Structure 1
Amino acid sequence: MTTFILDVLKDLQNKNKDLSSILFILPSKRAGIFLKHQIAQIVNQTILSPKIISIEEFVEDLSQLKKTSNTELLFIFYKTYLELTKKEEQETFDSFSKWAQIVLQDFNEIDRYLIPQEKIFNYLSAIQDLKHWSLEEPKSDFIKKYLSFWNKLNLYYTKFTEDLLENKTGYQGLIYREAVENIESYIQSNPNTEHIFLGFNALNAAEEVIIQELLQNELADIYWDIDSKFFDNAFHDAGLFTRQHHKNWKYFANNPFNWKTNNYTQEKNIEVFGIPKNIGQAKYIGTLLQSLQQKNEKLENTAVVLADENLLTPTLNALPPAVDALNITMGFPLQSIPLASLFEQIFQFHKKENNTFYYKDVIAIISHQFIRPLLNNNHVDIASKITNTILTNNLVYLTLEQLKELAIASTEIIDLLFAIKENNVENLLKNCSQLILTIKEDLDQNKSLNKLSLEYLFRFNELFNELNNYNTKYRFIKDIHTLHGIYKELLSAATLDFQGEPLQGLQIMGMLESRVLDFKTVIIASVNEGILPSGKTNNSFIPFDVKIENQLPTYKEKDAVYTYHFYRLLQRAENVYILYNTEADVLTGGEKSRFITQLELEGIHTIKHQIVTPKVEACFSELIEIEKTPAILNRLKQIAEKGFSPSSITNYIRNPIDFYYQKVLGIAEQEDVEESVAFNTLGTVVHNTLEDLYTDFKNSFLTVDALEKQKPKINERITHHFKNEYKEGDISKGKNLIIFEIAKRYVSNFINLEIEDLKKGNEIKIISLEADNRASVAIPELDFEVNLTGKVDRVDQYNGITRIIDYKTGKVSNTDVEITEWEAITTDYKKYSKSFQVLLYAYMMNQQNKVNLPLEAGIVSFKNLSAGLLKFAVKEGRSKNQLITQETLDNFEIELKKIILEICNPEINFIEKEV
């Protein structure tokens, strides 16, 4: 296939041009590498390499100014702002930076397009005055300040540019304006230099002046890369700029316009794929590349163009293994690497300016892949130790002193991460830089395995050095909020550049990097509205109509730029694969780009359009089944001898797999910090408090006076048990304080309910509290002992009837403790688990001869306290039998033995129940 660069070189050869003496000027540095490569292919003798530079380098040479970074421009502009603004009206740097960046962009556009500054700034000021405030008299202070800002724009610009020129530095627009000023002297100084401009499309006013001056003085030639199909169509945006240049430049009245080509209409294979999500696109790129390799296509002539830079990482991961050579033009965003998340976390918790640190922030920091190795002390994992202490002691917030105490000999690392002294900005910068060096020392111990991580560290070291230089030089960063803003600004623009042979293998690039280059096969991804083209964005203080009047670019021109790049990629390509995201997204909306629709409507090429979806296998969730091996059966025997508790049996009824994990394997539920008091903690506190308050009444009758005397003790006992159960968790405020008060209310209401009962003439005698029970159950089918264990909250006598009582802090109603058929008590967990529990307590105590039949058993629900004791009952039709007799326990025993036999039966596996 032919390429634009090769065509230009052949044309120059045909004109007998001395390539060595030509100054080639291209839109980008990358195109220069390909130009140099193709020069070597067409010359048949040894020559000196010509000078090849980008347009920005050429203009910078013309201007004799050095381009400075956007961040430094912000600091210099703030210095100008402070000099020209009254002290009482000055904004902080943080506030200033939010609008100053937009102003700097407008300064840049005004200069690049050579707009008379005073004219446009006065125009903007007059618009604001007329538009908003001219009819309001007298004007408020706010309005006066607002208009003052617009009136000072020209003043800001003049002083700002003077300061830059004095230091021989500038932003892109100022450099272009100065280059235009110097073009005449440059022409006089270089009368014999031949300039070749190639591959340009949209030019700003300054570039147009520079190139036209060189053309008029016969010091240059320019080669356009535009197809006749776009150029001759007055409505096609791909040819918008070249048509304007052809029409407006006087040079072309008497000189040829090179070139209009006819490559686009040649036969092409164009396929469009709608694919869900970015990951889907990345994976399909891998599939396309694999199919190309199977067809023996050379990937040297293949380009993957990513309109969305976020696709780079998933695309690299999706490349087929056979891709052995790769060149990536796009830089990898520094903010996407793991080290960025570490510093973001450090900034976030220091911005809070608290003396304590939230436990999740602490765990996230100390568990980070770059920090955890630093906290190892004599092979002790300090990070795990700190995490376990936080979880065990329920530490929601930690102080620096606590962290140091837990870190043992790693206190220096804790200081670097968490300690901020008086000058918090300088201290944080110093700590971050020192932290980078400390991590480097650790990684240096095994450099061969940590090359990439060391590269990450180097780039972040550069970034923090830059931050430190700005802070030292300008002293405008007063707090960590401002520092964080500048850090994010630098980080968003920073990339980790890939190194490789630029002319070998598959090419992966962004849309702008494709300028001037041609490939046989092109894969373009993320061709969605809002990405390609980017659509309406107006990050400017200059209104749309003012931009049009002054011939400044609007979103229409920006869309036309991308239209040109898109179609230029297609011009000489033979195979084109266009991918777009079909899924609705916050930004792109899942709408395919207008470029795809335009291709289809043009009718020049046959477009194959298909929707691709990932192959999804039918996913059937198989229930877990655990076979009862000899080891498991032996473990079940141990559990049976130790004793089945009511909770363990009901746990089996609910889901046998949970029983297997918790009782057989001994896997406890994952412990976590209770930021707010959990239900089980509340239940434990209430249970323990009632035990304390009723202990003195064992084996005696309750009296109103005795219970009244216990009420003042409630607060102290509740507090004691909260501290015991909730460890160092804070119950003095927020949701926890409410739960604390609820616990007090539960206990107080329960005692009041008992007092009311006594006042009605009822007798209550406490038999036992929190009594441990252990009983055996004879099961002839099993050749080992089976025991039952359990703790009963309370046993009392109510008017001579024994009652077994279980406390529940949750909501329980009568229907939860009533059964209609005995077989269901061991199968329906949701309906009968509470009935099973209280009956098992009654069964055990009867086996131990601790109670006499008949008796009652039930639940006291603190959320349904007015219902009193919710008694177990057997329902037969409309009647209820609430007395537990020997017949009741015999019927229960049958079902109890069934469930225990099922648990211990080697033929019945542990099978997960569907939730």
Structure 2
Amino acid sequence: MTTFIHEVLKDLHNTGQKLSEITFVLPSKRAGLFLKHQLSSVVNQTAFAPQILSIEEFVEELSQLKSIPNTELLFEFYSTYKHLTKKENSDSFESFSKWAQILLQDFNEIDRYLIPQKNIFNYLSAIQDLKHWSLEDNKTDFVKNYLSFWNKLYDYYQNFTEQLLNKKLGYQGLVYREAVENLEAYIQNNSNKKHVFVGFNALNSSEETIIQELLQNNLAKIYWDTDVVFMNNIKHDAALFTRQHLKNWKYFKKHPFNWIANNYSKNKNISAIGIPKNIGQAKYIGSLLKTLQKENTNLNSTAVVLGDENLLIPVLNSLPTSIQALNITMGFPLKSIPLASLFDSLFKLHKINSNSFYYKDVINIIAHQFIRPLLNVDGIDYASKIIKTIENNNLVYPNKDRLKRMINTDENILDLLFSNWENSIILALENCSKLILTIKSSLDKNKKSNLLHLEYVFRFNELFNELTRLNSEHEHIKDISTLFGVYKELLSSETLDFQGEPLQGLQLMGMLESRVLDFETVIISSVNEGILPAGKSNNSFIPFDVKLENKLPTYKEKDAVYTYHFYKLIQRAKNVYIIYNTETDVLTGGEKSRFITQLELEGIHKINHQIIAPNVPTIETELNTIKKTETLQRQIIETANQGFSPSSLTNYIRNPIDFYYQKILKIKDHDDVEETVAANTLGTVVHNTLEDFYKPFINKFLIVEDIKALKSKINQTVTHHFLKEYKEGDITKGKNLIIFEIAKRYVSNFLDLEIKALKAGDKIKIIAIEADNNIEINIPELKFPIRVKGKVDRVDECNGTTRIIDYKTGKVESNHVEIVNWEDITTDYKKYSKSFQVLTYAYMMQQENTIQLPIEAGIISFKNLSSGFLKFSKKDSTFSRSKDSLITNDTINAFEDELKKLILEICNPKIDFTEKEV
């Protein structure tokens, strides 16, 4: 395949031009690199290389100005803004930066297109006057300030540009305008210099003026890369700008238009492939490259062009390992490297001026991959120790001193991370810089294995040095929130460049890097509406109609630019794979691009259209089954000997796998920090409070005065147990305060219920509180001892009847403690787990002879106190109203049969632990 660059060099060489004396101007630096590489294929003798410049470099040389980054422009512009705006009406730098970005873009466009500045700014001001009824006498302060802003636009522009020019600095548009101003002098001083402009398409007014003047003075030659198909079709946007240049430039009235080629109509293999989601596209690209390698496709002439540059990382992770040479033209975004998340977390932590920090933010920082090694001293993992202490003590908002006490060491790293920045920009930047140096010192200990991480640290050190410079020179940053905004602005524009041989191997690039370059095989991703082309967007203060009147570019021209790049990639290629996302997405479209439809409607090439779905294997969900091996059987016997509790048995009924994990393997749920008091903590506090209240009354009859006396102790006792269970968690505000009050209300309401019963004539005697039970059950089929154990919340005697009472802070209804068929009690957890529990308590106490049958057993639900004591009862049928609430020997015997069956199932080596479907 003959590339456009090669054709240009060959033409120049054939016409007797000395290439070493030419100044080549191209749309990008990358194109210049390829031009330099192809010189050797045209020049057969040793020669000096010509001067090769990008258009930006050439214009900077003309203007004698230095372009400055966008962030620094904002600082310079804010100085102008403050100078021209009254202090009481001026925005903070943070607010200013949100709208100033748009205004700077408008300044840029106005200058690049050589629009008379005063005219357009006065025009914009007049439009706003009309919109806001300027003839009205009674304007609000808001409208006055708004109109004042528009009236000052020209002053802002004039002062800002003067300020920059005095420093020999400029934004792109200003550089272009100055280049045009200096053009005449440049022509006079370089009358023998020959310029060749290669591969341009959409030109702004400044570029058009510069190129046309050089052409008219016989100092330049220009080569266009377009095709007869595009030029002959007046509706084809791929040649929108070239047709305009051919028609409007006086130079082409007498000189040839180089070139209108005829490459697009040649045979091509074009495939349009629809794939769901971005990751699907990345994976398919990897798969496609693997196939191309097997077919011996020349990867040196293959390009993967990413329509959406966010696909860079997924595509890199999807490339086949067999690809040896790879050149990536896009830098790795600095915001995507792990160190960026550390500083994001730090800024988030310190944005609020506080000495205590949210525990999740603290854990995020100390568990970070760059911080954790710094907290590993003499083989002790202090990070784990801090995290464990936070969780065990329920510390929701620890401070620096509390964190340092956790590890009993004076670690400076904790001072760097958690000392209050006190809203001081200097202190914040100093801390960040010291942290970077500390991380570097740690990485230097094992330099060879940390080379990439050291590169990360180096780039962040540069970034914070730049922040420090900007702050010291301009002093516009007044708080941490603004500093964070500037940091993110700088971070978003920084990249970590890949090293590689730029002229060898597979080329991975963005759409703009493909300018002027040609490849035999092209893979283009994300060819969706809203991406290629970008579609309508109006990020400007200049209305659409004003743009049209002043011949400023609108979305129509921007779409035409994308059209040119898209067709330029296809123009000389032999194999083209156009990939688009089939999944509709509100933010990034989902509809295939109009470019694909246009290719189909042209009818020049046959488009192989495919919809590809990832090969997702069918995975049949199998219930987890644990075989009862000899080892496991021994563990079951050991557990049986230690004793089954009612809750562990009901856990088995609910799901045998959970029983296996918790009771056999002893796996406990991880105790996270309770930001809000958990239900089990509330239950424990209420249980322990009632235990403290009623233990002194064991073997005594209750009297109203004793219960009333307890009410005065509620606050003190509940507080004591919250401090014991909730540790250092805060119960003085928010939801926790509400839960604390609920706990007191539960206890108070229970005591009221007790007083009501006593006043009604009930005689209540406390027999036991938190009674421990531990019995051995004789099961002849099992040749090892079986024990059942558990604590009963309360055993009392009410009017001569013994009652076993279980407290529940959750809501329980009477039907939760009723049973019809005994065999259901060990199979249906939802309906009968409460009945199973209270009957197990009754069974244990009956076996220990601590109670005499008949008795009653049941639940007191604190969320259903109005129902009182909810007694277990046996019903003849589901619809029967008669129920027997007395637990007799028959009841115990029937329950014992079911209990033994359940234990036999648990201990049976032939019955595996099988997961139940939830």
Contact 2:354 2:420 in 1 (8 A): no
Shift of 1:271: 0.3
Shift of 1:410: 5.3
Task: Please give the alpha-carbon distance, in whole angstroms, between the structure 2 residues aligned to 1:524 and 1:152.
Answer: 46
Q: Cα deviations across residues 684-709 of structure 1 (Å, max 9, x unaligned)?
A: 11111111111221111111121111
1:209 aligned onto 2:209: yes
Task: Please give the alpha-carbon distance, in whole angstroms, between the structure 1 residues aligned to 2:144 and 2:628.
Answer: 84
SS where residue 462 of structure 2 aligns? helix
Structure 2 counterpart of 1:255, which letter? H
Structure 2 counterpart of 1:896, which letter? L
Indicate the residue corresponding to 2:522 in structure 1. Answer: 522
Shift of 1:421: 4.2
Q: Cα deviations across residues 214-242 of structure 1 (Å, max 9, x unaligned)?
A: 00011111000001111111111111100
Structure 1 counterpart of 2:261, which letter? T
Residue pairs, 1:282-301, within 5 angstroms: 282-301=282-301
Contact 1:657 1:910 in 2 (8 A): yes
Contact 2:355 2:419 in 1 (8 A): no
Task: Please give the alpha-carbon distance, in whole angstroms, between the structure 2 residues aligned to 1:622 and 1:528.
Answer: 40
1:258 aligned onto 2:258: yes
Indicate the residue corresponding to 2:622 in structure 1. Answer: 622
Structure 2 counterpart of 1:554, which letter? T
Shift of 1:416: 1.1
Q: Cα deviations across residues 622-653 of structure 1 (Å, max 9, x unaligned)?
A: 21111122222222222111111101111111
1:847 aligned onto 2:850: no
Task: Please give the alpha-carbon distance, in whole angstroms, between the structure 1 residues aligned to 2:337 and 2:784.
Answer: 60
Residue pairs, 1:625-636, within 5 angstroms: 625-636=625-636
Contact 1:133 1:143 in 2 (8 A): no
Task: Please give the alpha-carbon distance, in whole angstroms, between the structure 1 residues aligned to 2:144 and 2:874.
Answer: 84
Task: Please give the alpha-carbon distance, in whole angstroms, between the structure 1 residues aligned to 2:567 and 2:647.
Answer: 71
Contact 1:528 1:593 in 2 (8 A): yes
Indicate the residue corresponding to 1:899 in structure 2. Answer: 902
Structure 2 counterpart of 1:513, which letter? E
Between stretches 130-139 and 446-455, larger displacement belongs to 130-139
Aligned-pair identity (%): 69
Shift of 1:422: 4.3
SS where residue 432 of structure 1 aligns? helix
Indicate the residue corresponding to 2:346 in structure 1. Answer: 346
Indicate the residue corresponding to 1:725 in structure 2. Answer: 725
Q: Cα deviations across residues 787-840 of structure 1 (Å, max 9, x unaligned)?
A: 111000000111101110100011111111111111111111111111111111
Shift of 1:448: 1.6
1:648 aligned onto 2:651: no
Structure 1 counterpart of 2:672, which letter? D
Shift of 1:157: 1.0
Residue pairs, 1:7-26, within 5 angstroms: 7-26=7-26
Task: Please give the alpha-carbon distance, in whole angstroms, between the structure 1 residues aligned to 2:430 and 2:671.
Answer: 37
Task: Please give the alpha-carbon distance, in whole angstroms, between the structure 2 residues aligned to 1:68 and 1:5.
Answer: 31
Q: Cα deviations across residues 288-341 of structure 1 (Å, max 9, x unaligned)?
A: 111111111110010000011110001011001110000000111111111111
Structure 2 counterpart of 1:883, which letter? L
Task: Please give the alpha-carbon distance, in whole angstroms, between the structure 1 residues aligned to 2:770 and 2:162.
Answer: 86
Q: Can you give the 5+ residue segments of structure 2 that lack an aligned partner in the other structure?
A: none
Residue pairs, 1:34-73, within 5 angstroms: 34-73=34-73
Q: Cα deviations across residues 7-30 of structure 1 (Å, max 9, x unaligned)?
A: 111111210111111111000000
Contact 1:30 1:513 in 2 (8 A): yes
Indicate the residue corresponding to 2:147 in structure 1. Answer: 147
Task: Please give the alpha-carbon distance, in whole angstroms, between the structure 2 residues aligned to 1:578 and 1:741.
Answer: 64
Structure 1 counterpart of 2:723, which letter? K
Q: Cα deviations across residues 751-797 of structure 1 (Å, max 9, x unaligned)?
A: 11111111111111110000101111001111111111100000011
1:541 aligned onto 2:541: yes
Indicate the residue corresponding to 2:491 in structure 1. Answer: 491
Contact 1:519 1:572 in 2 (8 A): yes
Contact 1:395 1:728 in 2 (8 A): yes
Q: Can you give the 5+ residue segments of structure 1 that lack an aligned partner in the other structure?
A: none
Shift of 1:153: 1.1
Task: Please give the alpha-carbon distance, in whole angstroms, between the structure 2 residues aligned to 1:746 and 1:83.
Answer: 65
Task: Please give the alpha-carbon distance, in whole angstroms, between the structure 1 residues aligned to 2:420 and 2:895.
Answer: 66
Shift of 1:161: 0.9
Between stretches 82-91 and 860-869, larger displacement belongs to 82-91
Q: Cα deviations across residues 385-414 of structure 1 (Å, max 9, x unaligned)?
A: 010001100111111211122243353111
Contact 1:107 1:157 in 2 (8 A): yes
Task: Please give the alpha-carbon distance, in whole angstroms, between the structure 2 residues aligned to 1:3 and 1:214.
Answer: 26
SS where residue 138 of structure 2 aligns? coil
Task: Please give the alpha-carbon distance, in whole angstroms, between the structure 2 residues aligned to 1:349 and 1:468.
Answer: 20
Q: Cα deviations across residues 474-518 of structure 1 (Å, max 9, x unaligned)?
A: 111110111011111101111111111001000000000000000
Between stretches 127-136 and 59-68, larger displacement belongs to 127-136
Contact 1:377 1:410 in 2 (8 A): no
Shift of 1:133: 3.0
Structure 2 counterpart of 1:443, which letter? L
1:669 aligned onto 2:672: no
Indicate the residue corresponding to 1:746 in structure 2. Answer: 746
For the aligned residue pairs, the C-alpha RMSD in angstroms reads: 1.0
SS where residue 796 of structure 2 aligns? strand
Correspondence for 1:910 among 905, 910, 913: 913
Q: Cα deviations across residues 333-379 of structure 1 (Å, max 9, x unaligned)?
A: 11111111110111111112222100000000000001000011211
Task: Please give the alpha-carbon distance, in whole angstroms, between the structure 2 residues aligned to 1:314 and 1:876.
Answer: 65
Aligned CA distance change for structure 1 residues 843 and 827 (closer, same or farther; 3 Å)? same
Residue pairs, 1:581-620, within 5 angstroms: 581-620=581-620
Contact 2:353 2:421 in 1 (8 A): no
SS where residue 270 of structure 1 aligns? strand
Task: Please give the alpha-carbon distance, in whole angstroms, between the structure 1 residues aligned to 2:172 and 2:912.
Answer: 75
Task: Please give the alpha-carbon distance, in whole angstroms, between the structure 2 residues aligned to 1:676 and 1:503.
Answer: 60
Shift of 1:423: 5.7
Indicate the residue corresponding to 1:444 in structure 2. Answer: 444
Task: Please give the alpha-carbon distance, in whole angstroms, between the structure 2 residues aligned to 1:18 and 1:42.
Answer: 12
Indicate the residue corresponding to 1:387 in structure 2. Answer: 387
Structure 2 counterpart of 1:732, which letter? T
1:376 aligned onto 2:379: no
Indicate the residue corresponding to 2:113 in structure 1. Answer: 113
Task: Please give the alpha-carbon distance, in whole angstroms, between the structure 1 residues aligned to 2:109 and 2:781.
Answer: 91
Structure 1 counterpart of 2:141, which letter? D
Indicate the residue corresponding to 1:243 in structure 2. Answer: 243
Task: Please give the alpha-carbon distance, in whole angstroms, between the structure 2 residues aligned to 1:584 and 1:352.
Answer: 39
Shift of 1:140: 2.4
| Normalised TM-score (structure 2) | 0.99
1:702 aligned onto 2:705: no
Contact 1:274 1:612 in 2 (8 A): yes
Shift of 1:520: 0.2
Between stretches 564-573 and 447-456, larger displacement belongs to 447-456
Structure 2 counterpart of 1:102, which letter? I
Indicate the residue corresponding to 1:316 in structure 2. Answer: 316
Contact 1:407 1:414 in 2 (8 A): no
Residue pairs, 1:453-492, within 5 angstroms: 453-492=453-492
Task: Please give the alpha-carbon distance, in whole angstroms, between the structure 1 residues aligned to 2:798 and 2:390.
Answer: 46
Contact 2:394 2:728 in 1 (8 A): yes
Structure 2 counterpart of 1:822, which letter? W
Aligned CA distance change for structure 1 residues 582 and 812 (closer, same or farther; 3 Å)? same
Task: Please give the alpha-carbon distance, in whole angstroms, between the structure 2 residues aligned to 1:358 and 1:842.
Answer: 47
Contact 1:356 1:397 in 2 (8 A): yes
Aligned CA distance change for structure 1 residues 564 and 421 (closer, same or farther; 3 Å)? closer
Contact 2:110 2:117 in 1 (8 A): yes
Contact 2:423 2:480 in 1 (8 A): no
| Normalised TM-score (structure 1) | 0.99
Residue pairs, 1:84-233, within 5 angstroms: 84-233=84-233
Shift of 1:87: 2.5
SS where residue 165 of structure 1 aligns? helix
Shift of 1:142: 2.0
1:880 aligned onto 2:883: yes
Structure 1 counterpart of 2:247, which letter? K
Residue pairs, 1:721-870, within 5 angstroms: 721-870=721-870
Name the count of aligned residue pairs.
915
Task: Please give the alpha-carbon distance, in whole angstroms, between the structure 2 residues aligned to 1:73 and 1:882.
Answer: 84
Task: Please give the alpha-carbon distance, in whole angstroms, between the structure 1 residues aligned to 2:47 and 2:589.
Answer: 54
Contact 2:353 2:422 in 1 (8 A): no
Task: Please give the alpha-carbon distance, in whole angstroms, between the structure 2 residues aligned to 1:859 and 1:828.
Answer: 19
